[in-house]
Amino acid sequence: MRVVKLLIWTIIAVGGLYPAYPLVMGDSTVLADPAKYLLEYYGKTATLFLIAVLSLSPLQTLFPKAAIVRNFNRHRRLIGVGAFFFALTHLCFYAVYTGGLSGFFEDIGKPFILSGVTAFAILFVLAVTSANRVIRRLGGKNWKRLHRLVYGAAVLLVFHQALQEKAGAVQTVYFFAPLAVLQILRIGRTYFQPKKA
């Protein structure tokens, strides 16, 4: 469906350009530390995109007849690459925030930073193996196996996001709880499918 594809592209574009608004309007809460604002904004956006893409296959299993789910599922790759793009932007602003590479490497051993960097490395591998040519070369089975790494990235992100929260990981729960429920329901449906009459 072209409309769905257009919609996803629009969300990526609007999501990517949104921070220009408070910056141009001179919002003092943003201009106080603009690099930190952008770092946090793109990190959150990347996480939401990853959660969106991981929600699609469980939704497909649970609602096999829903046309809307089917249409979005066809563009999972675009959403996944979108997540990578926002993660890359997040990483770039982290480097700006720390004041360059020396600051970046100073903290890389800390679990908070290491979990984020590892999740990014996974998304990087998945993004560069997303071209049709690479998929054909790897073969569908290997490609699928490799791309299961995305679940590892999701677990690392739960850790990474929860660590940066202050006084209780409330937002991390809001973000990831729906996905966790969907995944559990999917597993239930796949392994304990009621026998058809």
Partner 1 sequence: MAMPSLIPQALAGATAGFPVKVNPKFDGSGLDLTSYKYVTSYNNFYEFTTDKGGVKELANQGWKTDPWTIKIGGLVENPFKADVNELVKKLGGIEERIYRFRCVEAWSMVVPWDGFPLRKLIELAKPKSSARFLKFTTFVDPKSAPGQKRRTIDWPYVEALNMAEATNDLAFVATGVYGKPLPNQNGAPIRLVVPWKYGFKSIKSIVKIEFTSKRPVNTWQQLAPEEYGFYANVNPEVDHPRWSQASERIIGGGFSARQPTLLFNGYEKEVGHIYKGVNLRLLY
Residues that bind partner 1 (CB under 8 A): 27-36, 96-99, 103, 106-107, 110-113, 163-168, 170
Burial of 136 (0-12, 13-18, 19+ CB in 10 A): exposed
* Minimum CB–partner distance for residue 55 and partner 1 (Å): 26
Rounded to 5°, the CA angle 97-51-91 comes to 15
Task: Judge contact between 97 and 39, C-beta under 8 A.
Answer: yes
For residue 56, the number of C-alpha atoms closer than 13 Å in the C-beta half-sphere is 19
Residue 84 or residue 97: which is nearer to partner 1 going by CB?
Answer: 97
* Minimum CB–partner distance for residue 29 and partner 1 (Å): 3
HEC per residue, 175-192? HHHHHHHHHHHHHHHHHC
* Minimum CB–partner distance for residue 46 and partner 1 (Å): 19
Residue 97 or residue 120: which is nearer to partner 1 going by CB?
Answer: 97
Residue 37 or residue 72: which is nearer to partner 1 going by CB?
Answer: 37
Task: Judge contact between 179 and 55, C-beta under 8 A.
Answer: yes
Residue 38 or residue 150: which is nearer to partner 1 going by CB?
Answer: 38
* Minimum CB–partner distance for residue 118 and partner 1 (Å): 15
Residue 11 or residue 114: which is nearer to partner 1 going by CB?
Answer: 114
| Cβ-based neighbours of 107, under 8 Å, separated by 6 or more | 98, 113
* Minimum CB–partner distance for residue 176 and partner 1 (Å): 18
